[in-house]
Amino acid sequence: MIETREVNFAYRRGEPVINDIDCKIEDGEFVALLGHNGSGKTTLSRLFMALMHPRSGEVYVDGENIAKKEPADLADRVGYVFQNPDLQILADTVWDEVAYGPRNKKLSEEKIREQVEEALAATGLTDFADVYPRILSFGQKRRLGVAAALALKPRILLLDEITNGQDSLEKEQMMNYLRAINEEQGITIVLITHDMNIARLYARRVIVLHNGNLVFDDVPEELFNGMKDLTEWGLQQPTMAALAATFELTAVNAADFCAQLTLKAGEK
Amino acid sequence: MRVTAFTQLITVLAVTALVFILPVQVVSFILVLELALLLYIRHDRMTMAAIGALTVFTGMMILLQLLFQSTLEVAMIGGLRMLVMTMAFLCLLAATRIQDIAQALVERFHMPCEYAFMLTTALRFVPDFLADSTATLDAQSCRGYSNRGNVFKRLYSYLVVIKPLVMRAVAKSDTLALSMELKGFGANTYKNMKKQELGLGDYLVLAIVVILSTYKFWIKYL
Amino acid sequence: MSNYAVEFKNFHYAYNGGEVVLKDINVSVKEGSFTVLLGPSGAGKTTMCKAMAGIIPYYYGGRYAGSVEVLGEDTKGRRVSDIAMHLGLMLEDYESQLVSLTAGEEVSFSLLNHGFPPDEVEERTKKALEDVGLPGRENYQLDELSGGQRQRLLLASVLAVHPRVLVLDEPVSAMDPEGSASLYKLLYKIHQKYNMTVIVVEHNLDYVLPYVTDMIVLQDGGVVASGSFEEAAAIAHEDRELRRILPALWQVKLNLEKRDGIHLGMWRNTKDAIIELKEKYGRVEL
């Protein structure tokens, strides 16, 4: 469980990046953290992981104030996956890469093997255990980043824009893995993204930041039902949501929309 | 008074020889000149840090010489010479753009354009690599690697960063080389740049350098 | 003289020591078009872009068959820097394509290498920077520019030589929606202003929908569909995998057209779609 109380952050040059944010994320949630470029969403996630510390206010992980902690202290409770997979590759085989974390924590060989196998299975990389990480495809490298974080068995996973630059098929695949991790293992997922579709289809809670302020915190339906003007916050209404809302249908994808639309038209 | 990169390069090279030719008092004077110049051009934190580092380095050299049983005087003079030489290079870097240095090297010193361009490329990519290394260090930390306390642990963590960094550098240099090829990099690159013509200031400085270099000849006649 | 910007004739290619990446490519890009190159990851789109610039196969080596023509001339035997005067290439890792320390130097680099006189270099540099929305920034150091600005700088350096064709490989993969929309708006502006052929590889077709004229769909190294956007999209829609990479809007359009046997217009955005749908599917209680 992560909580921030009245957290503020600004870089030395002055302009505040995070203004007085109160935010509480419970176990097992699937949260999408949205916001325009510079809204503070990445900064907030970095505060969660103690990669940065707030200028004022507190951040608590499982009830403990993490002001004096560094990310290594939190690694077995909170996992962080960065956007650029190439910069996170530290080992020569997929297995070693995923084992990096558990080895740092000096776990027994048994435990390490167990946790690495689990992490590989959860991200569909079991068959790639002996592969040199750099020859993996971009999507696979991304999943490797997730596996490496999972290996320490954190209860919370923070993911920074990990569907950026991938085609829709790969995005879907990644999101399905995340959904499985969340539903089967109860791991909290906090996904920073600017992909509205993903937020809409997979998240159960959406938090929107705008200019460093928390402006929305509720279920996705409330955000995407067409009632709110998302452009105000630098966001875009996902296409299907806009169409569905206009025609008062509940479809989330194209096929369903067409079916419902013709059905409705047929009723006239 | 504008002095071209060429003149500056010649001056710096000359200084490295002059420290051995000229008497100690003159060399000390040159040191003062260098410091004044440096602080006049750029008095930011980095420059101060660089001066500080060079001084410390020189101090270590002096100590080392003393350890090997030189007299204090010899050690001090040796240290002074070292400091003046290294400061000269620092002045060069502070006073001139690296692109101009590269151009002078190709135009006047006939260095192949590929080597000269490496200077620019290095400067171009260093900030990028520093940023990349931060990302990798963060990733390490998030996976439980703590480099608290132990100096060796700290050093080791930087070592682990080197591999992904080098990999990335190789990939980037591939794209860079391609880009340079597409843009037609070659013999023409430096040929067509605006020529750095020697002006009054250059001739003055060069004259001074020549006079000082021939010191041993004319001092007899004074 | 053909009026094709790029023509692939029976082109096959395999990287050194690798499998065949492009198989029997026979496709042309019309001059003045805004063409999108679509396909799943690994389909060969980047390779195709490099082939258009002539760096495949001649700079990379590898095995090939067939030919690629740019503005009527075969890329074979030509120096890549000569081809670059007519066809500008922007790869996904645009940062590594920037070679200089200041903006002005970056833009004039290519011009200097090709022996343009200093006055003209200055003039063209100024114009190019203005065109991409970075006026007067000749003396800006590279690290004074943001990521988006650096990309525009690369675009300026490519434009300075006045090419007729622009090829961009996933230009906005690392950008947020706002930045992406604004880059495409800029590309369209340049496309219109200079009647430049624009060929862009893009996953998220929502960004290009307002501007696109033609499309080439690549799958497993082969061309599955090509032609006007409407034609190519209709063909792609028939394939279950390809259907999912079409923009949601067009998935709806093509689905409805097929299902109800009607013909809907060239939807360029959600508004277009809503207007036409309301028309065709009767009134909706609001």
A16 vs C28, higher pLDDT: C28
- Give the CA distances from residue A34 to residues A38, A206, A223, in Å, rounded to whole numbers and listed in that order: 11, 7, 11
Interface pTM (ipTM) of the complex? 0.88
Of residues C95, C110, C142, nearest to B184 (C-beta): C110
Work out the pLDDT band at A259, boundaries 50, 70, 90.
Answer: confident
> Is the pLDDT confidence value at B83 over 50?
yes
Test A90 with B132 for CB contact under 8 angstroms: no
Give chain A positions within 8 Å (CB) of B140.
Answer: 90
Q: Is the separation of the CB atoms in C253 and C246 below 8 Å?
A: no
Which of A66-70, A233-237, C206-210 is least confident? A233-237
Rounded Cα–Cα distance for residues C245 and A168 (Å): 6
CA C105 to each of CA C18, C125, C158, C185: distance values in angstroms, whole numbers, following the listed order: 38, 9, 13, 26
pLDDT tens digits, one per residue of A32-69: 999 988 888 889 999 999 998 888 888 888 888 888 88
Q: Which tokens in the block code for residue A227? A: 């009632």
**Window 112-131 of C, Cβ < 8 Å to B:** 112-116, 118
The pLDDT value recorded for residue B1 is 67
Cα A108-A113-A119 angle, rounded to 5 deg: 125
Q: Which residues of B touch C96 (CB under 8 A)?
A: 171-173, 175-176, 179
CB contact under 8 A, C99 and B186: no
Higher pLDDT, C286 or B47: B47
User: Is C270:C252 a contact under the CB 8 Å cutoff?
Assistant: no
CA A98, CA A79: separation in Å to the nearest integer?
Answer: 13
- Mean pLDDT score, C63-73: 93
Is the pLDDT at A255 greater than 60, yes or no?
Answer: yes
Provide the shortest C-alpha distance from residue C36 to chain A (in Å). 14
Residue A17, phi then psi, degrees to nearest 5: -105, -30
What pTM, to 2 d.p., does this model score?
0.88
**Torsion sign, CA atoms B119, B124, B130, B133:** negative
Chain B: residue nearest A133 by CA? B164
pLDDT band at C283 (very low <50, low <70, confident <90, very high): low
Contacts of C56 in chain B (CB under 8 A): none
pLDDT of residue C128: 95
Nearest to B135 among A87, A102, A105 (CB): A87
Contact of B50 with B42, CB cutoff 8 Å: no
Joined together, the tokens standing for residue A147 give: 């596996």
User: Residue C7: enclosing H or E segment and its boundaries?
Assistant: strand C4-14
Residue whose token pair is 């900064």: A43
- Does C285 have pLDDT greater than 70? no
- Looking at A4-13, B212-221, C37-46, which range is the least confident one? A4-13
C161, burial (CB in 10 Å: exposed 0-12, middle 13-18, buried 19+): buried
d(CA C115, CA C98): 20
- Helix (H, G, I), strand (E, B), or coil: what is residue A199? helix
DSSP string over B90-156? HHHHHHS-HHHHHHHHHHTT---HHHHHHHHHHHHHHHHHHHHHHHHHHHHHHTT----S-HHHHHH
The larger pLDDT score, comparing residue A211 to residue A3, is at: A211
**First-last CA distance in chain C:** 56
- The per-residue pLDDT for range A92-130, each reduced to its tens digit, is 899 999 999 998 888 899 999 999 999 999 999 999 989
Chain A contact present for C274, CB below 8 A: yes
The structure tokens listed for B24 are 């100690």
Per-residue pLDDT tens for C107-134?
999 999 998 988 999 999 999 999 999 9
- Please determine, for residue A268, whether its predicted confidence score (pLDDT) is greater than 70: no
Is B179's pLDDT higher than 90?
yes
For B154-166, the pLDDT digits (tens) are 777 777 778 778 8
Chain B: list its partners (3+ Cβ pairs within 8 Å). Answer: A, C
Amino acid, single-letter form, for residue B16: T
Across the interface, do A72 and B146 touch by the CB < 8 Å criterion? yes
**Chain A within 8 Å of C281 (Cβ-Cβ)?**
yes
Amino acid at A192: I
Q: Give me the residues paired with residue C217 across strands.
A: C38, C225
